[in-house]
Structure 1
Amino acid sequence: MPLSNQQLLMPDAEVYIDRNFITPAESDALFTDLTANIVWEQKPIQFMGKTVMQPRLTAWYGDEGKSYTYSGWTVDPMPWTPTLLTLRARVEGAAGVVFNSVLLNRYRTGQDSVGWHSDDEPELGTNPVIASISLGAARNFQFKHKHNPDLKQTIELTNGTLLLMRGTTQHFWKHQIPKTTKVLGPRINLTFRVIN
């Protein structure tokens, strides 16, 4: 896949998109498989001094020993499923990177979300490569520059889309999936990563 032909024009970042990475029929089958066969959790998090439930379901899969610390939690990986291994190989072919873990997020309705953040945890390395697959309902994925508030970008991530972030993207940009009343259907997002 010629990712270089699909680069988004964002300063201080390398972001690529392929809206047809997975066919609609295959995406729907993957969505059904992952909904049924992934061990989903909803964890409590600290928000403005209160303990609240994370506004989405999550799961962490990967190679043995590839634990991940984020949002105040350290999670140990579940072993790869056959479906996840197949997807990993496909994403590795597009990204040119060997991934050893994947964070899955399940957004049940438009009210599920993830707030502004960068994927900049120490175990991801200096310039992490994050390969993100979207399945199910389309959701807006928003970027904002950390040092220039006028630099913003919104991308609609549709069923079967691959979004690849690499280089200095996490140093200079935050991203989020905001709440919306316009989306009623569920969405699953898989973000393949390298844990050092």
Structure 2
Amino acid sequence: MATKPDIEQIAGFYQPAESDQILRYFQQEHDWPENRYRYSGRQFVLPRLQTWHADANIRYSYSNNLLETRAWTPLLLAIRTKVELFLANSFNAVLVNYYRDGEDHVGWHADDEPELGKQPLIVSLSFGAERRFEFKHKLSSKTGSVVLSQGSLLIMRPSFQHLWLHRVPKTHDVCAGRINLTFRQVVI
């Protein structure tokens, strides 16, 4: 059993000035829908804003909620290309999350839905306020965390999704917003 998470953070993947521009674009120009979802027969408001962008014919759901697929924007395509070239890996979808402040969060989960295949490589880019990314082993009591900094790239290799849960918890220490892009390859 692996007791060390198979993740790697690349600080400064985007430099501060460009990171600030990307953050402003998503905060001011991106079209954010009202996010409601159903879980166990009840309706909830998602504790962050979210959009899903993918190639044609790509569908994705989590917690039995099918996400509305939007077309790639020019900015998302440019970011996708940079990530793909750096990793020598292709992605056909991105989940865009806007954490407006420290109250916005995502609970414990693994990106291990069947649509992601047996070996999901998930790559996460952060723009804006620093947030703590926590993880815990699915079987042992081992936990850990990393701080997701402005312009950083977090690489979560397949074994991470198999063995670990992760979250971005609520915090009262953060007043500013954060954009997170998680690239993935959805299996058709």
TM normalised by structure 1 equals: 0.89
AA aligned opposite 2:15:
T
Q: Does 1:194 align with 2:185?
A: yes
Identity %: 41
Q: Does 1:41 align with 2:41?
A: no
Query: Which residue matches 1:92?
Result: 84
Unmatched 5+ stretches in structure 2: none
Q: Does 1:181 align with 2:167?
A: no
Distance 1:12 1:168 in 2: 10
Query: Which residue matches 1:21?
Result: 13
Query: Which residue matches 1:110?
Result: 102
The alignment's C-alpha RMSD in Å is 1.6
Deviant stretches of 4+, over 4 Å:
46-50
Unmatched 5+ stretches in structure 1: 1-9
Distance 1:13 1:41 in 2: 34
AA aligned opposite 1:77:
T
Q: 1:178: how far off?
A: 0.2
Q: 1:12: how far off?
A: 5.9
Aligned equivalent of 1:166, options 157, 164, 170 = 157
Q: Is the 8 A contact 1:113 1:179 kept in 2?
A: yes
TM normalised by structure 2 equals: 0.93
Q: How many residues are treated as equivalent by the alignment?
A: 186
Distance 1:194 1:100 in 2: 5
Query: Which residue matches 1:6?
Result: none
